[in-house]
Amino acid sequence: MEVSRFLRVAALVTAAASPLGAQTRGVTHGVRTARLVIRNATIVDGNGTPARGPVDIVIEGNTITAVVPLDAVALGRGESRRPAGDVQIDATGKYVLPGLIDAHAHLQSNRSGHSLGGYEYNLKLWLANGITTVREVGSESDTGIVAVRERSAKGEIVAPRIFAYPMLNQAPMPRNAAEARARIQRFKSAGMDGVKLTGVERDVMAAAEDEAHKVGLRVAHHVGVEETNAWDDIRFGTTSIEHWYGIPDAAIPDMRQHFPANYNYLNETDRFRWAGRLWREADPKLLDSVLVSMVHANVAWVPTLDIYEASRDLQRAQNQPWFKDYLHPSLEWYFKPDPANHGSYFIGWSSADEVFWKENYGIWMAALRDFERLGGTIGCGDDAGFIYQMYGYGLIREMELHAEAGFNPLKIIQHCTGNNAKILGQEERLGRVRAGWLADLIVVDGNPLEDIKVLYAGGTSAMRDGKEVRTLGSEWVIKDGIPYNGPQLLREVKAIVDKARAAK
Ligand SMILES: [Zn+2]
């Protein structure tokens, strides 16, 4: 390259990278405009590719219409023209990701009858943590979840996109294959997106899956320690295995874990205590063949590592920093150990239990790494609302646990965006920063490849220019082209919590 051209390119790059003239302007919280441009962004896309920038991202209505590179090479070729916009967000020094997708979520307005004051608390915590889509796998009410989904789609409420996967097993329970098929058909005509199986007998599972495939509903399976295990998911074509039970179970040489003689599955303390000793019974060679078979059958895995974390470190789970300002009193009540509340099994939880669980996690995480290496699809969900996990925060914690498992940060972001879109069957609309895809994006204050904690609502502490600062988390959360200011969402959550605490 001759010197004059080099200097010209260098000057253009300086202009492109300068925040001058690129300040955020005209953006209103909750208001979609005809043409929004995010300027000077560094992108991490949802397909596992490396970060790249600076780029300008053009959003028209609810769609990403252009991703314009501003790097020296593009500028030198004359390929970059700064696109115009009605309003703009300055993303200089920030990272832009596809909006996060929570593939295992529950929308909750109350916990065992203790009100959360409607859905607003839950929905805003999801968005504040950068979640623009949730797969709802078992709601309080099937008609309720469809109503929320539709209001969200129309932009009438502040909420992520919702995909509804109601529980197959709800009263009256389908008792046989015919009743399972009828239930699936009813879900289809009610406009559901999929179905969640849990606690199913093998014949009911086989019929439900067969019918679901016929009518085009996807299947999420929370495998319990039951009649079925991962071999059944492989055989019947489950879309995704939720959590992890059923996978080590399928690799135990004696076909059943060696429980103590007085074990009772319905006793939650028994159940979670011995679950911590489950992975150690899986035979590595058999486990390998289970994982290979899952890959061949296209069964994805949504591990929800976060929701068991209290089992290996109870004090950590009980003392999370966001509890101080954002834990709703009804959730606080629900999280207190009480045998009447699902998942609150920690009365008498011992250091020995925690040690077994630490080992359990180690084997589990290694299996997840093997599964991905073999070509398997790993998704990302948090199951929040149970066991000390708060909506939204749980998913970011899940990402940190994927890092602990040893996954490359680029792959972790892919798990929570592109892979989850694929599990939803929405990979041609969601989970990417790509022209033609829906405008679900987050503008993150900080580099999540360096520190996942920058994704937490309310940010994290960081050193910048020699000073300690509090970062802003997802400063802008754009869902369906509508920009929401992350810190503003969090202030609204705090107001809900303050009011509920004052009313107590
Ligand atoms: Zn769940």
Write down the number of H helices and E strands in the chain.
18, 19
Query: What is the full per-residue pLDDT of the chain (504 aa) written as tens digits?
Result: 333 443 333 333 333 444 435 799 999 999 999 999 999 999 999 999 999 999 999 999 999 999 999 987 877 777 667 899 999 999 999 999 999 999 999 999 999 899 999 999 999 999 999 999 999 999 899 889 999 999 999 999 999 999 999 999 999 999 999 999 999 999 999 999 999 999 999 999 999 999 999 999 999 999 989 999 999 999 999 999 999 999 999 999 999 999 999 999 988 888 999 999 999 999 999 999 999 999 999 999 999 999 999 999 999 999 999 999 999 999 999 998 776 766 667 888 999 999 999 999 999 999 999 999 999 999 999 999 999 999 999 999 999 999 999 999 999 999 999 999 999 999 999 999 999 999 999 999 999 999 999 999 999 999 999 999 999 999 999 999 999 999 999 999 999 999 999 998
**What separation in Å is there between the alpha carbon of 388 and the centre of ligand 1?**
13
**What separation in Å is there between the alpha carbon of 197 and the centre of ligand 1?**
11
Q: Name the token pair of 337.
A: 């150990």
Give the global pTM: 0.94
**What separation in Å is there between the alpha carbon of 20 and the centre of ligand 1?**
47
CA within 13 Å, CB half, 185:
7
What's the start-to-end Cα distance of the chain, in Å?
71
In angstroms, the CA 482 to CA 28 distance is 9
Q: What φ, ψ does residue 242 adopt, rounded to 5°?
A: -95, 145
**What separation in Å is there between the alpha carbon of 335 and the centre of ligand 1?**
15
Please give the single-letter amino acid code of residue 184: I
**What separation in Å is there between the alpha carbon of 62 and the centre of ligand 1?**
30
**What separation in Å is there between the alpha carbon of 404 and the centre of ligand 1?**
22
**What separation in Å is there between the alpha carbon of 104 and the centre of ligand 1?**
6
Q: Is there a contact between 29 and 127 (Cβ–Cβ < 8 Å)?
A: no
**What separation in Å is there between the alpha carbon of 164 and the centre of ligand 1?**
13
**What separation in Å is there between the alpha carbon of 242 and the centre of ligand 1?**
8
Partners of 198 in beta bridges: 222
Strands 110-111 and 114-115: antiparallel
Other CB atoms within 10 Å distance of the CB of residue 89 = 27
The predicted structure's pLDDT at residue 327? 98
Q: Closest Cα to residue 320, out of 417, 415, 397?
A: 397
**What separation in Å is there between the alpha carbon of 137 and the centre of ligand 1?**
6
Helix (H) / strand (E) element for 334: namely helix 329-335
Q: Is there a contact between 443 and 94 (Cβ–Cβ < 8 Å)?
A: yes
**What separation in Å is there between the alpha carbon of 449 and the centre of ligand 1?**
28
**What separation in Å is there between the alpha carbon of 490 and the centre of ligand 1?**
24
Q: Is there a contact between 482 and 33 (Cβ–Cβ < 8 Å)?
A: no
Ordered alpha helix ranges (H), 60-216 = 72-76, 120-128, 142-153, 177-189, 202-215
**What separation in Å is there between the alpha carbon of 344 and the centre of ligand 1?**
14
**What separation in Å is there between the alpha carbon of 295 and the centre of ligand 1?**
23
**What separation in Å is there between the alpha carbon of 428 and the centre of ligand 1?**
26
**What separation in Å is there between the alpha carbon of 374 and the centre of ligand 1?**
26
